[in-house]
């Protein structure tokens, strides 16, 4: 597995990480615990050294799972987790310095570790100045409990303000061929400041794998996509041209649409590290195979030109989720 550095930091990780969220919640019932542990360890055996979790995933269940799975080789991996939600008043936010420090202590215990490699603010809390958040992380770094500071779904201005107090190592936001929002301001800001970028949902929450179509149903009690406009039957049907594009390039490259989608992200910048998640071993192998797919300048130009003629239908998240995004 190739390695990449997140921006100008010294944080080196595998070119593709592993997003652990879906093992515990969001896209259906939780995976059997032993199966989930085995899958995380299989990712490690295949060269993945970057694992992503958060306090809110399964209300701490995911951190506990990741802690158990990675304990035998803790020193060889980078674990990223997140603070910022108020679990007692969910989906309320809480990024007060006192709360951040409390979450850090909980995460350290659940992850069975003495230090969190990368600690992201999960969503920007408009009631707490970002300078105070950066200050709290700076304290935790001084205490040796955290190594790197990250932001998730933060806007360019917030990134700059935070970075002026304590260097931001990575920004994590949704980014894929059909969700291009970060390209306008966030990616140029990261490039200018030397910050790494970690696309979550690099496979468009499953759509870019080609395994989701207008006939797919989502359980409103267990699957967040049931409330996302882009996953309505009409939108899925209207967005089929995105998949047609990936399939056309894939056929030529002897690769799956998922592999083309991931290879496209890897080709954007050398400091971009996607974190696809999966519950199946064969999908893990498929995703990791994307690191070997080489897209030429001509391939990338063709993708860009074809995509420019496609209008993606539907907002990427529900109104409630979009209200938490820092503009």
Delimit the domains of the chain by residue range.
3-322
Residue 200 phi, psi (nearest 5): -90, 155
Q: What pLDDT is recorded for position 222?
A: 87
Q: What pLDDT is recorded for position 193?
A: 98
Confidence band (pLDDT; 50, 70, 90) for 189? Answer: very high
Q: What pLDDT is recorded for position 118?
A: 98
| Dist. CA 167–CA 223, nearest whole Å | 35
Q: What pLDDT is recorded for position 72?
A: 98
pLDDT 10s digits, 72-108 = 999 999 999 999 999 999 889 999 999 999 999 999 9
| Dist. CA 172–CA 198, nearest whole Å | 5
Q: Could you tell me which CATH class the domain 3-322 is placed in?
A: alpha beta
* Residue 327 in this model has a pLDDT that exceeds 80: no
Confidence band (pLDDT; 50, 70, 90) for 307? Answer: very high
pLDDT 10s digits, 35-82 = 999 999 999 999 999 999 999 998 999 999 999 999 999 999 999 999
Q: What pLDDT is recorded for position 27?
A: 78
> Do residues 62 and 36 touch, judged by C-beta distance below 8 A?
no
Q: What pLDDT is recorded for position 210?
A: 92
pLDDT 10s digits, 141-151 = 999 999 999 99
> Do residues 290 and 265 touch, judged by C-beta distance below 8 A?
no
What is the biggest distance separating any 2 CA atoms in the chain, rounded to whole angstroms? Answer: 54
pLDDT 10s digits, 109-123 = 999 999 999 999 999
- Is residue 57 part of the annotated active site? The answer reads yes
Residue whose token pair is 């987790």: 81
Q: What pLDDT is recorded for position 25?
A: 83
Q: What pLDDT is recorded for position 276?
A: 98
Task: Find the Cα–Cα–Cα–Cα dihedral 24, 28, 32, 37, rounded to 10°.
Answer: -40
Q: Which of 18, 27, 57, 175 is catalytic?
A: 57
The CA-atom distances, in angstroms, between 179 and each of 159, 242, 292 are 20, 11, 23
| Range list of H helices, 179-220 | 186-193
| Dist. CA 128–CA 126, nearest whole Å | 6
């Amino acid at each position: 597995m190739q390695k990449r550095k997140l921006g100008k930091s010294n944080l080196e990780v595998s070119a593709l990480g592993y997003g652990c969220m879906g093992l515990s919640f969001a896209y259906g019932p939780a995976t059997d615990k032993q199966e989930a542990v085995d899958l995380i360890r299989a990712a490690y055996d295949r060269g993945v050294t970057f694992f992503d979790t958060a306090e809110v995933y399964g209300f701490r269940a995911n951190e506990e799972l990741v802690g158990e799975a990675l304990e035998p080789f803790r020193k060889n991996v980078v674990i990223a987790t997140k603070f910022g939600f108020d679990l007692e008043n969910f989906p309320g936010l809480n990024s007060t310095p006192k709360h951040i420090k409390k979450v850090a202590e909980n995460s350290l215990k659940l992850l069975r570790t003495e230090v969190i490699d990368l600690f992201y603010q999960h969503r920007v809390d408009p009631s707490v100045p970002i300078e105070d958040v950066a200050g709290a992380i700076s304290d935790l770094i001084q205490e040796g409990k955290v190594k790197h500071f990250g932001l998730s779904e933060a806007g360019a201005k917030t990134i700059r303000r935070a970075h002026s107090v304590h260097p931001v190592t990575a920004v994590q936001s949704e980014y894929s061929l059909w969700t291009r929002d970060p390209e306008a301001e966030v990616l140029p800001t990261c490039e200018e400041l030397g910050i790494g970028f970690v696309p979550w949902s690099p496979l468009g929450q499953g759509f870019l794998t080609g395994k989701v179509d207008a006939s797919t149903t989502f359980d409103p009690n267990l699957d967040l996509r049931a409330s996302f406009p882009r996953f309505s039957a009409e939108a899925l049907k209207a967005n089929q041209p995105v998949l047609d594009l990936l399939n056309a390039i894939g056929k030529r490259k002897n690769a799956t649409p998922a592999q083309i989608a991931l290879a496209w992200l890897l080709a954007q910048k050398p400091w971009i590290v996607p974190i696809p998640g999966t519950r199946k071993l064969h999908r893990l192998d498929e995703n990791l195979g994307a690191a070997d797919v080489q897209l030429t300048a001509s391939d990338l130009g063709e993708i860009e030109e074809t995509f420019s003629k496609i209008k993606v239908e539907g907002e990427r998240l529900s109104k409630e989720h979009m209200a938490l995004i820092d503009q």
